[in-house]
Structure 1
Amino acid sequence: MRHSLLWRILTPFILLLLVTLGSLSIYLTGFLRENYLAQTKSSLLSEARLLRTSLAPLLEVNPHDPAINELTRRSALLLNARVTVILADGQVVGESERPLSEMENHFDRPEVQQALLGREATEIRHSNTVNTDLLYAAVPVEKNGRVIAIVRLAAPLTYIQDSLRALVRSVFIASLIAALVGALMAVLITRSTLRPLGALNQAVTQLSTGILPEIDETPQKDELSRLQNAFRGMSTELQRRLNELAAEREKLEAVLRNMTDAIVIVDREGIVQRLNPAAARMFNIAMEQAPG
């Protein structure tokens, strides 16, 4: 089976299809991951800006107001993200995951350092506070051109990774379905293309055993179909000529049988190949014993 022409044609095609789809899947996985992270970063930054609008008046009046921590916790529930409010000296005055008394100074955090320069920042790193990998988005809160606090949102990478795994799984399933459909179509197309060749192979096999094959004419105009039709014409012509030879042989047999003169046919070695009834009577032998 694996040595048939069908599989010799299909195998490289299927391998090429699998390699192409595999490469495409790897590319799409990386693309989707980067795109998803970019969208998540953009979403966190947008939410941080909105939250900054609500927190800025409180921070400008009294950065240690308990209402800041209360608003931080309520906002975290609405945004489904960790929310932290950090003063310019690194002191945490709002935290949704832990009591403020347990929070260490955040001045040295990379995203905080960027926000203190007046820039929005994102960072992916491990959080010692909640002991998990997080995606951080930080925006500065300014007063009179000076950064007085940072509003920071964070989303766990486990959630992002779960979403990415779901996307990768969808890409893999879609690629697998595409590969199966492509392979099936390749099999059907190749079989349809090679069908005339199969008919020719069967016809040649029959011809080699002395059987004149019957080949159906095909309306297709491709190379194999034209070859099949040409072989059909050759087989038909051969059958016609054999029929003519058989008819001539019958005529010759009839002439030999009805001749009153004795006729003996010998080959170059002088061996009798055929004689007519008159010759058999003359030599007093049976017709069946004459050849040889």
Structure 2
Amino acid sequence: MRRQKKHKLRSAFSSIHFKVALVFTLTLLVTLEVVGAFFVKQLERESLDSVKNQITLKPYATDTLTEQLVSSDDYDHVNAEIYKVLNSINNPAISEISVVDANGIVRGTNDVSGQDSINRKTTDPNVKAALSGAKFNKSPIEESDGKRYQVVIRPLVNARSTDNHIVGVVVVRANLEPTYKSLNNISLIFFSAAFLAILLGVIMSIIISQSLAKPITEINDRTLRIAQGDYTGEIRVQSNDEIGQLAENVNILALRIEETTNSIDFEKRRLDSVLEYMTDGVIATDRRGNINMINSTAVRDLDLTDGDSTIGKSILDVLHISGQQTLRDLLEGSQELFLDFSTPDHELFLQAYFSLIQRSSGFVSGIVVVLHDVTEQYRIDAERRQFVSNVSHELRTPLTSVKSYADALQDGAIDEPELARNFLNVIQDETSRMISMINDLLELSRMDSGTMAIESEYVNIAELFNYIWIVST
């Protein structure tokens, strides 16, 4: 049960419904994340730039502060004038303004709680770098008491001096908490909208994936039925896109496969009928020499139980030639083999003809073996050989006698008239015997070739039987 659940879960995750929905959702999520990150970052940059512009002091204020720092008035009087100038700046975005002279001493600030820092050395490294003319950060963001401040540092330059001498630095601070609070609210609104868009995107992706996967599922089911041999029914084509064209092609493919299968089945049945009634045995194998087809004649000739039990067996084992031949021999050279399947009860001789099944490319895909029963031909050949041997013997005996008597006559028997006459009579009898035997052979030859002339005549059957009876008794 647990395995079935795992299989169903794995199938669900590997289905096209899940993949399309996942790809669509991930694409939408990544797009919104990238756009959101760029949007928030750009909004933060523009908000900080806006704060910097808002807290930038007007030229008249910086000029007044510069004049006070270069004046030769009383020290305390200068500080008091700087305090007046700082308090006269009415900018709600500014949290604190500080003025530091060229010696790094704080000369004034508009922060009531920071009055104790006046006439003290500043510890800010950026301010020190600005006073010394070194490279410094003009608008750093600092954190104090858990709050973030935008700081703008501006050197005060004495325009009346020839070397643009820096007489001090004005430091402006602005609280960034309201700005970041606004940014957080905007980000929350954006991500809430993004979450809603993702949720709607998931729903839309499920709907779209179902609309895309439904025809694909129908095509898959149709191809499975085709693979199982069921060619009935067809896929309903509901669109003209690529999926619709694929469905139409599958319908055409099913029709072509059905026609081809029917044609192949018809040809196979016809071939089976031909092979079944062939007088010769036929065996077909694959390229490994394993039998995949055998007709009933071959089953009978090879004395097999049935053809089905032979399917898959090696042709070498079935023909009992594994000790004399190999499959490579059959594929490369052996075209004919004489097989002796004789038993004590009966004789059986087969002539096996091997032919390769080759494609147009030359690839060998199997072997066809035709088994021709040559038992009768073998018996006739044996009888013919025996007959020739007997005839040769029968002809040799009188010829030997004739030669012996002829030699005796040549040796002097011809000088004795009585003996010579007896020898000549024997030679004449043996010659007549050979002529009669040769005439019989010629008559047998004409009978075998069908050229013998038969003369018909009426015969008294009763007299013939009486004659045979008398002769036999």
Decide which of 178, 181, 187 is 1:162's aligned counterpart: 181
| Helix, strand or coil at the partner of 2:168 | strand
Which residues in structure 2 correspond to 1:111-122 (within 5 Å)? 111-118=126-133, 121-122=138-139
Contact conserved, 2:83 with 2:110, CA < 8 A, in 1? yes
Identify the residue that residue 216 of structure 2 maps to in structure 1: 197
The runs of 5 or more residues in structure 1 that have no matched partner are 238-292
Distance 1:156 1:5 in 2: 54
Equivalent position amino acid for 1:18 in 2: L
Opposite residue 180 of structure 2, the aligned amino acid is: Q
* Structure 2: gaps of 5 or more residues: 1-8, 257-473
Note closer, same or farther for the CA distance 1:180–1:131 as it changes in structure 2 (3 Å cut).
closer
- Looking at structure 2, the residues matched to 164 and 188 of structure 1 have their Cα atoms a distance apart, in angstroms, of 36
SS class of match (1:47): coil
Provide the alpha-carbon RMSD of the alignment. Answer: 4.2
Change (3 A) 1:205 1:114: same
AA paired with 1:96?
N
Q: Which amino acid aligns with 1:149?
A: G
Any residues of structure 2 matched to 1:90-169 within 5 Å, and which? 90-99=104-113, 101-103=115-117, 105-118=120-133, 121-127=138-144, 132-143=147-158, 144=161, 145-169=164-188
> In the superposition, relative to structure 1, how do residues 217 and 123 fare at CA in structure 2: closer, same or farther (>3 Å)?
closer
TM-score with structure 1 length normalisation? 0.59
The one-letter amino acid of 1:53's match is D
- 1:194-229 deviations in whole A, cap 9, x for unaligned? 332355568789999x9x75864424131x212433
Pair 1:106–1:13, CA change in 2 (3 A):
farther
Residues 1:229 and 2:239 are matched in the alignment? no
Amino acid at match of 1:152: V
User: Over residues 73-121 of structure 1, what are the superposed CA-to-partner deviations in whole Å (9 max), with x where a residue is unaligned?
Assistant: 2425444332122222333333222256422524221232132134772
TM-score (norm 2): 0.39
Counterparts of residues 1-292 of structure 1 (less than 5 Å):
2-3=12-13, 4-19=15-30, 21-22=32-33, 25-26=36-37, 29-30=40-41, 32-33=43-44, 35-36=45-46, 39=49, 42-43=52-53, 46-47=56-57, 51-61=61-71, 62=73, 64-99=78-113, 101-103=115-117, 105-118=120-133, 121-127=138-144, 132-143=147-158, 144=161, 145-200=164-219, 216-222=236-242, 224-230=243-249
Deviating more after overlay: 144-153 vs 43-52: 43-52
- Structure with the bigger RCO (C-alpha within 8 Å, sep 6+) is 1
Question: Taking structure 1 as reference, are residues 201 and 132 closer, same or farther at Cα in structure 2, changes over 3 Å only?
Answer: closer
Equivalent pairs: percent with the same residue? Answer: 19
Q: Is the 8 A contact 2:157 2:167 kept in 1?
A: yes
Alignment correspondent of 1:248: none
Change (3 A) 1:100 1:7: closer
SS of 2:57's equivalent? helix
**What CA distance in whole angstroms lies between the structure 2 residues aligned with 1:206 and 1:71?**
93
Q: For residues 220 and 198 of structure 1, what CA distance do their matches in structure 2 show?
A: 17
Sort the Cα spacing of 1:26 and 1:78 in 2 relative to 1 into closer, same or farther, 3 A: closer
- Higher Cα radius of gyration: 2
Relative distance call for 1:157 and 1:115 in structure 2 (3 A) is same
Cα distance in structure 2, aligned partners of 1:155 and 1:53? 21
Alpha-carbon distance in structure 1 between the residues aligned to 2:116 and 2:177:
24
3-state secondary structure, aligned to 1:64: helix
Query: C-alpha deviations, 1:227-261, integer Å up to 9, x for none?
Result: 43356678999xxxxxxxxxxxxxxxxxxxxxxxx
Distance verdict in 2 for CA 1:157–1:221, change over 3 Å: closer
